[in-house]
Chain A
């Protein structure tokens, strides 16, 4: 799997992301600067986490209008894979590549801890290494992860199986106490209509080897590696 990680000023998780991609695929990702207008020929483009442009105006708002985003949009339009994590999820919603918006956490606090996620749809390029209903751990670190979409939009993404990941407890049950940010329907990650672009708040790239406390997040990158191989074959 050939991949690229987009780097904006203020992003800080690009190296973790590159490490996870390399670990799963064996191939070192390209790092692409935000001012560039072309992406290398890759299967997967990742918009990583951090605080692009210091979260000025709205999280992800400025980065979503950066020159490289036109290339990311073309990459998605061509049916290739795009993953946005944390600030990357915010950037993809601000760019209009995903519906809805990520608002300030309901608690008004920045939340940095381990959470549990339930795989709602294992039949995607991003989740095929997991089982449907499987619960895995992932770190989160964000102040604006409170996903919101208008009722009709929400109904559509739920109906189309586009909610891939939901916050839950260790047993897989949903509850307000298992939801770290107030996201509507406990949504942690959603797909675009075509199913080739995923945005998620948690950081699977930070739980990919025993040194980090587990390998729960590796499945996401293995899923992408498998999906990319299927397309190539």
Chain B
């Protein structure tokens, strides 16, 4: 089973990289984008076939390593 994990900064945490990208888009004359927040994206291959068990494994992976939950949220999507 394939899984996707998206890690994003929590609301209220400053994202200077997102701001820089936002500025670069403006300088490229890309209109209509009011805010950019940068995050991370992981593709994982999981041998577990039970969805609930797979989700539990992924949550463990996120809590232990993939996200720093002081400043980041994570979302798990099973394919």
Instruction: Establish whether residues B13 and A58, one from each chain, have CB atoms under 8 Å apart when the complex forms.
Output: no
> Assuming A57-B65, A105-B16, what are 10 further A-B pairs, CB within 8 angstroms?
A61-B65, A65-B64, A65-B65, A94-B68, A99-B70, A101-B71, A106-B14, A108-B16, A148-B13, A150-B70
Is A111 part of the contact surface with B, judged by Cβ < 8 Å? no
Instruction: Establish whether residues B68 and A101, one from each chain, have CB atoms under 8 Å apart when the complex forms.
Output: yes
A59 to B64, CA, bound (A): 15
Q: Which residue in chain A gives the minimum CB-CB distance to B9?
A: A103
Q: Which residue in chain A gives the minimum CB-CB distance to B19?
A: A108
Q: Which of A61, A65, A150 is within 8 Å of B68, CB to CB?
A: A61
Interface SS, A side: loop
Interface SS, B side: helix
Residues of B near A73 (CB, < 8 A) are none
Q: Which residue in chain A gives the minimum CB-CB distance to B64?
A: A65
Residues of B near A105 (CB, < 8 A) are 16
Total contacting residues, chain B, CB less than 8 A: 11
Shortest C-beta distance, A183 to chain B (Å), equals 12
Quick one: CB contact mask for B48-79 with A, threshold 8 Å, 1 for yes? 00000000000000001110101100000000
Residues of B near A101 (CB, < 8 A) are 68, 70-71
Q: Which residue in chain B gives the minimum CB-CB distance to A150?
A: B70
A150 to B13, CA, bound (A): 9
Q: Which range contains the number of A residues in contact with the other chain?
A: 10 to 19
A57, A65, A108, A149: most-surrounded residue (chain B CB, <10 A): A57
Is A22 part of the contact surface with B, judged by Cβ < 8 Å? no
A65 to B68, CA, bound (A): 13
Is A104 part of the contact surface with B, judged by Cβ < 8 Å? yes
A94 to B69, CA, bound (A): 10
Q: Which of A57, A61, A94, A108 is within 8 Å of B20, CB to CB?
A: A108
Q: Which of B16, B65, B70 is within 8 Å of A104, CB to CB?
A: B16
A106 to B16, CA, bound (A): 6
Shortest C-beta distance, A101 to chain B (Å), equals 5
A57 to B68, CA, bound (A): 10
Residues of A near B71 (CB, < 8 A) are 101, 103, 148
Residues of B near A57 (CB, < 8 A) are 65-66
Shortest C-beta distance, A25 to chain B (Å), equals 34
Q: Which residue in chain A gives the minimum CB-CB distance to B38?
A: A104
Residues of B near A161 (CB, < 8 A) are none
A164-209 interface with B by 8 A CB criterion: 182
| 25 cross-chain CB contacts under 8 A | A61-B68, A65-B64, A94-B68, A100-B70, A101-B68, A101-B70, A101-B71, A103-B13, A103-B14, A103-B71, A104-B17, A105-B16, A106-B14, A106-B16, A107-B16, A108-B16, A108-B17, A108-B20, A148-B13, A148-B14, A148-B71, A149-B70, A150-B70, A182-B14, A182-B16
